[in-house]
A and B are shown apart, each in its own frame.
Chain A
Amino acid sequence: MTRESAHQTAGLNWKRELALSLLTALWLGLLTGPLLVCRLNPTDGSIVYRWPLLFYVAGGGFILSSVWRLLLARRNLRRRRAEVALQGPKRTWVDLLLASRRRCQGLWLVMLFLISLPFWASPYTVNILITALIYITLGLGLNIVVGVSGLLNLGYVAFYAIGAYTYALLNYYFGLGFWLCLPLGALTATILGLLLGFPVLRLKGDYLAIVTLGFGEIVRLLLTNMEVTRGPRGLANISPPGLFGLDLNALVKPRLLTWLPLDPNMDMNKVFLFFIMLALVVLTILAVFRLENSRLGRAWLALREDEIACQAMGINRVRAKLTAFALGATWAGLAGVVFASQVTFINPTSFTFMQSVMILSIVVLGGMGSIPGVIIGALVLILLPEELRAFADYRMLLFGAAMVLMMVFRPGGLIQSVRQVYLYQPAQPPDKGQS
């Protein structure tokens, strides 16, 4: 390293950052002080001064600001270092973990753990995990649309709702079972995905986001106002998935209880649903992975990167967009059917814009276009709030703060997408027969 670069990497300027944070804290205190400190006592008209509050706000502000500043400074420093050292592609420990050979064994262990889980964990845990798995599926589905194809879709929850309502309605009016409705729900969502795809073919970016947002709201309002869907009253008593007509709770559970540490309150239908969802997630991961590294997936990537160049490569833009929309919707439909059978009661309030935002956050937080990223993102966003029940009031606050911090320090998401590496070993020397 040259002297110049050594100078550049001299280290953080702690004092400066802390002084600036102090200023920020003072400013914050000054701004909020009058409102926080002075309180009129309505009974005798006297003013109560609550000085500790000011201290908390300023102190909190100081700590947050200094952490923020130091992290930023550290990041800038690293960037400068990287420029100086001119390293190859940046590899973090997560990338290394994912690239390692052991990951296959690790995955098997994770699968075994998950399969054994319902037999010793609480019904609550199983239920939460089903939700998490549903969101993984949703995240992976939306990842096709947003992460891989670059089409910002803010109405994704509509397809989820369509899947759920397909099952609920067919079950309510015609008594159709879960297994028949699973493909039907997916199919309905796919068709609606195509229908949405046609009008938005010409749109990109912000415009596309607005139209999809509108679509999501239209679906929700239709569900709320139509007579068939029983409006806000929703549909109840949706059957759980059947297994050859076996009554799982009456037949299987007593036997399992004798030799497994099974929770006596466990609903075996939920356990079955958990396994279905687990299988669905595995299939989804496989499918999405295969899609991403196929001719079609590369067409989507090209579409995301540069639409004009994509067409110049002989890719039919219309077809690529429509398939992305339709396939994304398919997975939302599947997840919707499972959701309906998990909660057994659905009404339009389960499918608000907030849900779309949640799924989009999973994709963005996890890492656009990265399958492990989306999985981790879903787990973090679904499981963490459950664990943080104690801070229920501050959940959204923490959530927002976490998103801001993530986007500043790791804009690529928790696990950035890594492109497939093609190893090439020529069977015969290339360029044979050419001078």
Chain B
Amino acid sequence: MSFGGLLALDQVDFQIGAGSITALIGPNGAGKTTFFNCLTGIYIPTSGTITLNQPSGPRQLHGLRPDQVTTLGLARTFQNIRLFNDLTVLENVLIGCHCRMKAGLLGALFRDRKTRAEERAMAEFSYQLLDRYGLGGAANELTKNLPYGAQRRLEIVRALATRPSLLLLDEPAAGLNIGETRELEDLIHIIRERESLSVLLIEHDMSLVMSISEQIYVMEYGRVIARGTPEVIRNDSRVIQAYLGEEA
């Protein structure tokens, strides 16, 4: 991926195993979020391929619009929370269900039996999803009135409502305190088990990254400089160099 003469991502070879938790770390400006934006279709990579393995066979994601990528099963959260603030919590999740619903204009206007059934099923699904992750009580609250930690959580739940097979979390622990970070760690584990999906997260909180991930990729200046299990990464000289600088 390059922007004009600036090479933001260079020969990034990345694999996320089904059902795994993978972390992507690196210093500021390493290209982590750019990589996310390439995956989700916000940027179209100047070269290279992105393949999503589905039960029906491999699918190319290169060149698809963000909404098509989401429909295929990639859901994401944002570094700075992007919730629909003036809507209720439940509506946020219902919007997440959008790509799993069918009703069109005529369905909305005439509200036939099929549409009503779908609306009801989705409202129920959304409510249960909220309930499962501890937000059921706030379903009819306005989103902007939620405390920060709950907003982070809601963003994950909203992403789950699109029924993804791969969940991308962009700095999910940013701004959370230690207790909340620990809850987040549990949450990610629970989500992986219950929704049977893979998780890819960008994170700066090393204790979270080291304890949660099975595989870690380290990026610097748009290149992957190391990959492996937390133990390997912790002792990798290039990683230490990237983060702490060279030994004098």
| A contact residues vs B (CB 8 Å cutoff) | 89, 287, 290-291, 294-299, 301-302, 305-306, 308-317, 323, 327, 419-422, 424, 426, 430-431, 434
Cβ–Cβ < 8 Å partners of A294 in chain B: 103, 107-108, 111, 115, 119
Contacts of A298 in B (CB 8 A): 87, 91, 94-95, 98
Q: Is the CB of B124 closer than 8 A to any CB of chain A?
A: yes
Interchain nearest-CB distance for A294 vs B (Å): 3
Give bound CA distance, A23 to B221, whole Å.
62
Tell me the B49-68 residues at the A interface (CB within 8 Å): 65-67
In the bound complex, do residue B67 and residue A317 qualify as a contact, i.e. CB atoms below 8 Å apart?
Answer: yes
Count B-side interface residues using an 8 Å CB cutoff. 50
Say whether, besides A296-B104, A299-B98, A419-B87, A290 and B111 are in contact (CB < 8 Å). Answer: yes
Flag whether B123 is at the interface (Cβ < 8 A): yes
- Chain B residues closer than 8 Å to A89, beta-carbon distance: 141-142, 145
Q: Are B98 and A311 in contact (CB under 8 A)?
A: no
* Distance from A148 Cβ to chain B, minimum over Cβ atoms (Å): 11
- The distance from the CB of A150 to the nearest CB of chain B, in whole angstroms, is 10
Q: Which residues from 87 to 117 on chain B have a C-beta closer than 8 Å to any C-beta of chain A?
A: 87-88, 90-91, 94-96, 98-101, 103-105, 107-109, 111, 115
Residues of A within 8 A of B84 (CB): 301-302, 305-306, 309
Majority secondary structure, A binding face: helix
A405 → chain B, closest Cβ, in Å?
Answer: 23
Contact A309-B142, Cβ < 8 Å, known A315-B99, A424-B127, A430-B131: no
A305 pairs with B140, CB closer than 8 A: no
- Interface of B, helix, strand, loop or mixed by DSSP: helix
Residue of B78, B99, B108, B140 touching A309 (CB-CB under 8 A):
B78
With a CB–CB cut-off of 8 A, which chain A residues contact B105?
Answer: 296, 323, 327
If A314-B98, A434-B194 are given as contacts, then 16 extra A-B residue pairs at C-beta distance below 8 Å, sorted by A number, are: A89-B141, A294-B119, A295-B103, A295-B107, A301-B87, A305-B84, A305-B87, A308-B42, A311-B65, A311-B70, A312-B40, A312-B76, A313-B98, A316-B67, A422-B139, A430-B131
Given A294-B103, A309-B83, A419-B142, also A315-B95 (CB < 8 A): yes
Contact between chains at A313 and B70 (CB < 8 Å): yes
Are the C-beta atoms of A315 and B98 separated by less than 8 Å?
yes
Sample 13 A-B pairs with CB under 8 A, ordered by A number: A294-B119, A295-B107, A298-B95, A301-B87, A308-B78, A313-B67, A313-B96, A314-B71, A315-B95, A422-B90, A424-B123, A431-B128, A431-B131
Complexed CA–CA distance, A249 and B42 (Å)? 63
For A286, the closest partner residue in chain B by CB is B109
Instruction: A89 to B162: give the CA distance in the assembly, Å.
Output: 29
Contacting residue for B75 out of A312, A420, A424, A426, CB 8 A: A312
Contacts A294-B107, A298-B91; is A313 near B158 (CB within 8 Å)? yes
Q: From residue A413, how far is it (CB to closest CB) to chain B in Å? A: 13
CA distance A302 to B91 in the complex (A): 9
Assembled-state Cα–Cα distance A187/B104 (Å): 18
7 closest pairs, A vs B, by CB? A314-B99, A294-B108, A314-B70, A305-B84, A309-B82, A311-B66, A424-B127
Contact B87–A430 (Cβ < 8 Å): no
User: Are A296 and B65 neighbours in the complex by a CB distance under 8 Å?
Assistant: no
Closest to B41 in A: A311
C-alpha spacing A311/B96, complex, angstroms: 10
B86 is an interface residue with CB less than 8 A from chain A: yes
Write out, one digit per residue, whether chain B residues 199-216 have a CB within 8 A of any chain A CB (1) or not (0): 000000000000000000
Distance in Å from the Cβ of A140 to the closest Cβ of chain B?
Answer: 14
